[in-house]
Structure 1
Amino acid sequence: MPESKNRFPLHPILIVDDEEEILRSFSIALRTGGITNILTCQDSRDVPYLLMEKDPAVILLDLGMPHMSGQELLQQIVEDFPHVPVIVITGNTEVEVAVECMKARAFDYMVKPVEKSRLISGVKRAIELNDLRKQVQILRETFAQRDLENPDAFSEIVTRNQVMLSLFRYAECIAPSPEPVLITGETGVGKELMARAIHKLSGRLGQLVAVNVAGVDDNVFSDTLFGHVKGAYTGAEAMRKGMVEQASGGTLLLDEIGDLSVASQVKLLRLLQENEYFPLGSDVAKISDARVIVTTNKDLGKLRESGDFRKDLYYRLSIHQIHIP
């Protein structure tokens, strides 16, 4: 039952199947999608122990296994560990079985053979659900407390304003999340300082890499963020890493996101949705594990209405939003 040492997601994806080849192929497929923290299990009797010891983020569960069936396990998991999403993956094509599993509160039901894209997208949705549940719980606990746990992280922002102190508590709460953060406010209110505090509190081992995207055209945006391979264009005499790669394991801060062109918005959306990007001149995707924080002094609501800012990108960016007065 090997466990990956990588850390996306923070807690492992537990794959339970009695066939070693299935465990291997699912593990490889997930890793190509940037999901690298994987735990496999061939004996269904070991699952209760692994749930207690490893606290998996998501479980991929086969139904047809010896010793203890997948349906028995599903019932036990939803009763004892209701916070863990379970994706049932089986060769059983009977509709009645699928209906029973969904009634038993399985997160999803997939029939083998499963397309790689379907597997990756399903697991990522389950990870997001689990993260959001945990964040809601942390928010409840944090706002029930009066004091900050790590006030030193905000030492560069001098204030006694109660609204700002509430924002500090919220920032402390969302800092460990891998989801994007949108920070808004007028010029000079401390948006970048807030972003740096969030990075400091996140526990990420990588660095914070800041990029001002105001007035940057699409080609420069792509080259700056994604880098290029040798020969990508005239003058590209050597490979160059982009800011996304430099922010690996850390945080990518995009300043003045309200000024980003629509063409560049499409590329940023892909990065956020798929956690992958293409360096200029390359047809091989690279995986990104950088957390994205964006800032702006623009009203993105008005920009959405005018069509100058994509609605789907705004939705992805505003999962966590901080407005600094």
Structure 2
Amino acid sequence: MSEGSAAAFGILLVDDEPAWLRSMSLALERSAGLRHVVTCQDPRKVMEILAGDDIAVVLLDLTMPHLSGEDLLPRITTEHPDVAVIVVSGLNQVETAVRCMRLGAFDYHVKTEEEDRLIAGVLRALRMQELQRENVEVATRLLSGELRHPEAFEGIVTQDSTMRTLFAYVEAVARSPQPLLVTGESGVGKELVARAAHRLSGCAGKLVAVNVAGLDDAVFADTLFGHVRGAFTGADQPRRGMVEEAENGTLFLDEIGDLSIPSQVKLLRFLQEGEFFPLGADRPRKVRARVIAATHQDLAAKEQAGAFRRDLYYRLRTHRVRVPPLRERKDDIPLLLEHFLEEAARSLGKKRPTPPRQLAQLLQTHDFPGNVRELRAMVFDAVSLHKDRVLSMDAFLEAIGRAGEPPPGEAASDRNPFAGAERLPTFDEALELLVREAMTRAGGNQTLAARLIGISQPALSKRLKAYRR
């Protein structure tokens, strides 16, 4: 459980033995970091406490004066069905345990059991409560479609409905201590989504970003977990790792799909236990940090191929979002164009140029394999070359042309649209097909279509009139 989760979920201990209440309160705080613990010696006050405090789990003794736990149990489960009740008895009786489970108890433990088993049971109950609340929150946000904190996403320029749904989901799971997996092609803005999730998380710590691509096992361990003095040759001073830097905050691991199997094992231990070993250390350290991972790779396919651990994959994808590529939200291109024009002019110290009316249409004909990052680079390049009041389209046409070129060394016949055709079209037929395709891509705009195929607008207009005869 994270610090935020521990604060959000209250635990009520009900027992007439003060010594047990004290020892269990200390054990929950010491072993599990659970500090929101309420104790009650009088079972007659339990319903009043539940009505006034945010209690998620009740540890209920069965044998108490005035009101037995077995009589109190059905009242709690009926009036507070969202509260998990763990029965704690001094007797190991199967019949009593079965009866309590039928009355709605979440679990049954004997006081003489090892303390760790009872604490593990409390953590299981808290995890269930956490998932239930998250499911309700996600369903509510997605159905309403409203954002409570739209300012968290101000760095993402969009009017796309899919992106709005993504925002609602991120807002709903932002406070969860469980990992969030952000997938999508390179350049779609995965780190912006991670930053928005951190901003909404309420975490007191900072967001620490680490790109794990290309890190071998030793470098990964040192980067994430640090080292103690003398851990290896040259380690004259201890070094804090990124995990400790992100304490009580968010650790953003970019390109998680490139992580080696040995490094995956180390990361899995941290996710499961909340602890790690700095290089050269013989004792583990505990740190609470929410993990957000991002990748452009298909982790499911890598897991099937044995290149990514199944247990880590399912651990990371507790919450997951896919950021759609720019070609799936082309209505955002005019907005992004205006945004990047402002940003480029400000960054380059120039007056914002006026884009031609056909520019947005031209850009919408391009698939943008580099996504938003590619569009931004195009705009910055064009603005850096800009001299007149109206922005020239030449830089964009050149960039789009280069993007459509085949890789170096590819044979010309491989990219010839007529290669392998059973019958070659005549010159006039081929030209008509080219003109009609240009008009389709330009959305019927003759000026833009003429630019796409490198002829003048009057020449294109003359061709179109001839085709209508």
- Specify the TM-score bucket, using the shorter chain as the normaliser: over 0.9
Does the CA contact (< 8 Å) of 1:172 and 1:201 recur in 2?
A: yes
Q: CA deviation at 1:182?
A: 0.5
What SS class does the counterpart of residue 8 from structure 1 fall into? helix
Choose the corresponding residue for 2:14, options 13, 16, 35. Answer: 16
CA distance in 1, matches of 2:65, 2:10: 24
What SS class does the counterpart of residue 91 from structure 2 fall into? coil
Question: Which stretch shows the higher mean deviation, 83-92 or 289-298?
Answer: 83-92
Q: CA deviation at 1:156?
A: 0.7
Q: Does 1:46 align with 2:45?
A: yes
Q: CA deviation at 1:9?
A: 4.4
Deviations 1:109-130 (A, max 9, x none): 1112232432332222211110
Q: CA deviation at 1:308?
A: 1.2
What SS class does the counterpart of residue 252 from structure 1 fall into? strand
Deviations 1:210-269 (A, max 9, x none): 111112222222222222333333333333222222212111111111111111212222
* Partner residue, 1:182: 181
CA distance in 2, matches of 1:237, 1:188: 39
Deviations 1:260-305 (A, max 9, x none): 1111212222222222223333333332221111101110011111
Deviations 1:49-91 (A, max 9, x none): 2212221122222212222222222211111111111112222
* Partner residue, 1:135: 134
Does the CA contact (< 8 Å) of 1:6 and 1:36 recur in 2?
A: no
CA distance in 2, matches of 1:6, 1:294: 20
Higher RCO (Cα < 8 Å, 6 or more apart)? 1
When the two structures are superposed, what TM-score results if normalisation uses the length of structure 2? 0.65
- In proportion to residue count, which structure has more strand? 1
What SS class does the counterpart of residue 109 from structure 2 fall into? strand
* Partner residue, 1:64: 63
**Aligned alpha-carbon RMSD (Å):** 1.9
Does the CA contact (< 8 Å) of 1:33 and 1:287 recur in 2?
A: no
What SS class does the counterpart of residue 204 from structure 2 fall into? coil
Deviations 1:17-37 (A, max 9, x none): 222222233233322233333
What SS class does the counterpart of residue 55 from structure 2 fall into? coil
Structure 2: 5+ residue runs without aligned partners? 325-469
* Partner residue, 1:27: 25
Paired residues for 1:241-280 under 5 Å: 241-280=240-279
Structure 1: 5+ residue runs without aligned partners? none
Q: CA deviation at 1:7?
A: 6.0
- The amino acid that maps onto 1:29 is A
Q: Does 1:173 align with 2:172?
A: yes
Question: Which stretch shows the higher mean deviation, 53-62 or 128-137?
Answer: 53-62
When the two structures are superposed, what TM-score results if normalisation uses the length of structure 1? 0.92
Does the CA contact (< 8 Å) of 1:228 and 1:240 recur in 2?
A: yes
Does the CA contact (< 8 Å) of 1:64 and 1:90 recur in 2?
A: yes
* Partner residue, 2:86: 87
CA distance in 2, matches of 1:238, 1:115: 40
Does the CA contact (< 8 Å) of 2:5 and 2:177 recur in 1?
A: no
Deviations 1:115-167 (A, max 9, x none): 24323322222111101111111122212223322111111111111111110
* Partner residue, 1:74: 73
What SS class does the counterpart of residue 293 from structure 1 fall into? strand
Question: Which stretch shows the higher mean deviation, 184-193 or 270-279?
Answer: 270-279
* Partner residue, 2:111: 112
Does the CA contact (< 8 Å) of 2:179 and 2:290 recur in 1?
A: yes
CA distance in 1, matches of 2:89, 2:318: 33
Does the CA contact (< 8 Å) of 1:139 and 1:173 recur in 2?
A: yes
Quick one: percent identity of the two aligned structures? Answer: 54
CA spacing shift, 1:87–1:304, aligned 2, 3 Å: same
CA distance in 1, matches of 2:277, 2:179: 20
CA spacing shift, 1:237–1:22, aligned 2, 3 Å: farther
- The amino acid that maps onto 2:282 is D
